[in-house]
Amino acid sequence: MVEVKFHDIGEGMNEGEIINFFVKVGDTVSVDQPLVEMQTDKMVAEIPSPTTGKVKAIHHDIGTTVTIGTAILEIDDGKEESINSKREVSAALSAPEKQNIPKQKERKSPPKRIIAAPHTRRIARENDVDIEKVQGSGPAGRVLDDDIFRFIREQQEDMIQPEENITSSQARTSTESDTIPFTGIRKQIAQKMTQSLMTIPHVTHFDEADLTNLLEIRSELKEAGENISVVAFFLKAIAITLKEFPVFNAQLDEENDVIRLHKNYHIGLATNTNNGLLVPVLRDVDKKTIREIHDEMKALTEKAQAGKLTAQDMRGGTFTISNVGPLGSTAATPIINYPQTSIIAFHKTKKTPVVLENDEIAVRSIMNMSLSFDHRVTDGANAVQFTNRFNQLMERPYHLLLELV
């Protein structure tokens, strides 16, 4: 008998919610066949079968949250058939009346296969909807978001009126407020942000960068058929700056009283998705060309939006950026992605009159940015020098040519 357990599928992930079973008791499965779909704080992941055999038991229902190491189901691989198990089979044959009840319960535990996207399942869970009761209108009976909303409306129409003994105060409370489930990724984000703020003394340094020359170069590249995101230039410049100021690419090890300066430059990309804030990691930014950075960043962002990030995509970040400018942000105090030591946010770029060195006034493209850092490992002067160096690379983007690989 082989137990299939919920194993560690990502850094810092210690629990997950069962959102779908692909098998039921009695099914024959093969090696690497998907068995169960799990929603962790970062992603939706499938747990494959470690062996060939028959599903013997399913221990948990859909919607159950389990921790790392919990056995989810059992597979009979036919290799361990003890004398006791044979006796149990004989006893079952001789006393069918006593065995009928547990067998019926066992058959009922695995739910039927429902075709639905993770986002649709999340909507159902958050609204306490049993997705098995929803009639799907999509291809092959697939349950769509609209099917969930339609089911909710129908349930609300069929609801009976509240009992007369409910006080007017209680009635007003129930009608004057709505609730949003504080679960899943939203809850995990809250826990991690609280841990960061409770652990790290945050200081945020605000600055601005002149992107006029960079945007002109990007425009020329676009006319030549090279549509490169401006963030790809930011990432290259950040990698260069981190090499010169390694304390911002570090981790404080309080147990051993050392600050560990990372030699890898794995930059996390804070990404807003329908499931919450996710931070995929672009690895070895210092070793990549700007075109490679652009292509890999685009691929990671698309995976995040589609809910297809893997544990490896989320692991090992040494620094984080947040590009909120396209949303119209002017300023913020970003929270450090613990246990990193800093994070930078890029805000809105707008045309601004600027006094040049020769006292002439010119209209320039100015971007605001905010750098939060761990005041235990560095000070404000270093933060100013850090953004000064980044600004220099933005104002004279041809200096990036010296770092191409």
DSSP 237-296: HHHHHHHHSGGGSEEEETTTTEEEE-SS--EEE-EEETTEEE--EE--GGGS-HHHHHHH
Assigned CATH class of 185-403: alpha beta
- pLDDT at residue number 183: 74
**Strand-strand pairing, 71-76 and 53-58:** antiparallel
Mention every residue, 6+ apart, whose C-beta is less than 8 A from residue 300.
269, 271, 280, 281, 282, 309, 313
- pLDDT at residue number 175: 62
- The Cα–Cα gap between 355 and 368 comes to 17
The pair of three-digit structure tokens given for residue 399, joined into one six-digit string: 């200096």
- pLDDT at residue number 269: 96
Whether the bond between 334 and the residue before it is cis, its omega within 30 degrees of 0, is no
Point out the residues that are catalytic: 375
Is the four-CA dihedral 51, 57, 59, 60 of positive or negative sign? positive
Mention every residue, 6+ apart, whose C-beta is less than 8 A from residue 8.
14, 68
Residue 6 or 111, more confident: 6
Residue pair 386/245 in contact by the 8 Å Cβ criterion = yes
Q: Average the pLDDT over each of 81-90, 250-259, 267-276, 395-404 and give the range with the smallest value.
A: 81-90
End-to-end CA distance of the chain: 53
Could you tell me the pLDDT band of residue 190, with boundaries at 50, 70 and 90? confident
Boundaries of every domain in the chain? 2-108, 118-175, 185-403
- pLDDT at residue number 95: 52
CATH code of the region 118-175: 4.10.320.10
Rounded average pLDDT over 283-298? 95
Could you tell me the pLDDT band of residue 106, with boundaries at 50, 70 and 90? very low
The pair of three-digit structure tokens given for residue 196, joined into one six-digit string: 């960061």
**Strand-strand pairing, 342-355 and 319-323:** parallel
- pLDDT at residue number 169: 55
- pLDDT at residue number 364: 96
* Residue percentage of the chain with pLDDT more than 90: 43
- pLDDT at residue number 101: 46
The answer on pLDDT for 338 being more than 60 is yes
Residue pair 348/314 in contact by the 8 Å Cβ criterion = no
Could you tell me the pLDDT band of residue 368, with boundaries at 50, 70 and 90? very high
- The Cα–Cα gap between 153 and 132 comes to 17
Between the alpha carbon of residue 349 and those of residues 210, 235, 270, 305, 368, the distances in Å are 9, 17, 19, 24, 7
- pLDDT at residue number 143: 85
The answer on pLDDT for 194 being more than 60 is yes
- Run of H or E including 354: strand 342-355
Residue pair 300/313 in contact by the 8 Å Cβ criterion = yes
The pair of three-digit structure tokens given for residue 280, joined into one six-digit string: 């995929």
Look at the block and give the residue holding tokens 């090992």.
Answer: 316
- pLDDT at residue number 286: 94
- The Cα–Cα gap between 317 and 102 comes to 49
- pLDDT at residue number 99: 47
Mean pLDDT of the chain: 84
Residue 250 or 171, more confident: 250
For residue 38, what are the β-bridge partners?
Answer: 18, 45
Mention every residue, 6+ apart, whose C-beta is less than 8 A from residue 193.
335
- pLDDT at residue number 160: 46
DSSP annotation of 323 reads: E
- pLDDT at residue number 155: 76
The answer on pLDDT for 34 being more than 70 is yes
Residue pair 397/365 in contact by the 8 Å Cβ criterion = no
Could you tell me the pLDDT band of residue 104, with boundaries at 50, 70 and 90? very low
CATH code of the region 2-108: 2.40.50.100
φ, ψ for residue 208, nearest 5 deg: -140, 155
- pLDDT at residue number 63: 79
- The Cα–Cα gap between 318 and 262 comes to 7
| 119-159 pLDDT, tens digit each | 678 778 878 888 888 888 877 788 887 888 888 877 766 65
The answer on pLDDT for 213 being more than 60 is yes
The answer on pLDDT for 390 being more than 90 is yes
Residue pair 39/122 in contact by the 8 Å Cβ criterion = yes
- pLDDT at residue number 218: 93
The answer on pLDDT for 346 being more than 50 is yes
| 41-97 pLDDT, tens digit each | 666 778 888 888 899 999 998 878 888 888 999 998 877 654 445 555 455 555 555
- The Cα–Cα gap between 14 and 37 comes to 16
- pLDDT at residue number 172: 54
- pLDDT at residue number 83: 45
Between the alpha carbon of residue 151 and those of residues 136, 144, 145, the distances in Å are 10, 11, 10
**Whats the size of the chain, residue-wise?**
405
- pLDDT at residue number 171: 52
